[in-house]
Amino acid sequence: MAGIKEHDYLKVCAQLASCLSISISAASKRIDIAAARQGAKDFSSRKEIATALLKKAQSLESNQKEGMANTLDHLLEALAEEENFLLED
């Protein structure tokens, strides 16, 4: 039964990482820090904290006009006057 709980926890970590565009280990670390602040030591409360962080991240993303990934894509696009810029050594 512990494996199923661990799978659910990792799934929430992966969803949080995807939503925030960070690695799974960084998302797990963020959950660990939030759990330490709240004094949560058992596995079920850590999962609840992870779910709460995911819901908060999803609500922030939906409130933005564009998602974080779309914002990064927009920033990486070349401007018309810079398209043909070539740097020589």
pLDDT tens-digit profile of 2-49? 554 588 888 999 999 988 888 999 999 999 999 999 988 888 888 899
Distance from C-alpha of 52 to C-alpha of 46, rounded to nearest angstrom: 10
Contact 35, 16 (CB under 8 A): no
Say what the pLDDT of residue 37 is.
Answer: 92
User: Tokens 């960070």 correspond to what residue?
Assistant: 22
pTM above 0.75, yes or no: no
Say what the pLDDT of residue 85 is.
Answer: 66
